Amino acid sequence: MRIADYTNQTHPRVAVDAVLFSIAEGALKALLVKIKKGPFAGRWAFPGGLVQVGESLDDAARRELYEKTGVQDLYLEQLYTFGDAQRDPTAHTVAVAYFALVPDPGRTLHSGDKYADIGWFPVRQLPQLAYDHNAMAAYALQRLQAKLGYTNIVYSLLPREFTLAEIQEIYEVIVDRKLDRRNFRRKILALGLLKPLPKTRRGAHRPATLYTFTRRSPMNVEVL
């Protein structure tokens, strides 16, 4: 990457970038957009943009994600501030990174006029991204894995109704290891996070009881 020339810039710009996670096909995936113009044209990156005058950082991140996915009701958390003066060769830009969670990656995506393409990519097989977004991806994954152990934010990756096997699969996909089935179920049920529903889902084996979360808002609780 060429060294940036900021001789005509008096103050850094402020941008937001959002690492949006979801689960699909047994893998943790992240939403990427393909840059259309500039020194990173043709490269993939996380969706983001400049913060508008009078707009809060959280609102800017939600706006960017809504414009690409149409999603408004999602878990969103500020992640880290990336401030290397050379991270953007077009201008000195400070990026405030977020990570977000959605349960359904099958929704319609919108690249808009700003990007050439948009799509979901396995987090552990990401291409070489623009800017410092590979470092951003690693930081976001680390935060997600940590928070999965001491909060209930897994609700953001599941539909309203699910089986115990499905919630265990979410944990296993994210932490990248198998969990003991009996111990996991005993722990998750003892925490009072789940409520059984008076219905089942038929599968290859015997029907599985469906559950729902007792609350769908963030709270600290030791799960793993």
The per-residue pLDDT for range 97-143, each reduced to its tens digit, is: 999 999 988 777 888 888 999 999 999 999 999 999 999 999 999 99
Chosen domain end from 132, 150, 168:
150
The answer on pLDDT for 1 being more than 60 is no
User: pLDDT, tens digit, for every residue of 31-80?
Assistant: 999 999 999 999 999 999 999 999 999 999 999 999 888 887 899 999 99
Shared-domain flag, residues 27 and 123: yes
pLDDT at 169: 96
Count of structural domains, the chain: 2
187: domain range? 153-213
The answer on pLDDT for 206 being more than 90 is no
Pairing of strands 27-35, 13-24: antiparallel
The contacts of residue 162 (CB under 8 Å, 6+ apart) are 210, 211, 212
Amino acid found at 133: H
**Residue 108's domain is classified under what CATH number?**
3.90.79.10
| Mean pLDDT, range 180-205, rounded to an integer | 92
pLDDT at 6: 67
Shared-domain flag, residues 97 and 131: yes
Q: What angle do CA 148, 151, 153 make, to 5 degrees?
A: 70
- As a whole number of angstroms, the longest Cα–Cα distance in the chain is 69
- 173 phi and psi angles, rounded to 5 deg: -65, -40
Q: Is residue 122 part of a domain?
A: yes
pLDDT at 4: 66
Chosen domain end from 113, 132, 150:
150
Amino acid found at 170: I
Question: Which residues make beta-bridge pairs with 120?
Answer: 31
Chosen domain end from 150, 179, 200:
150
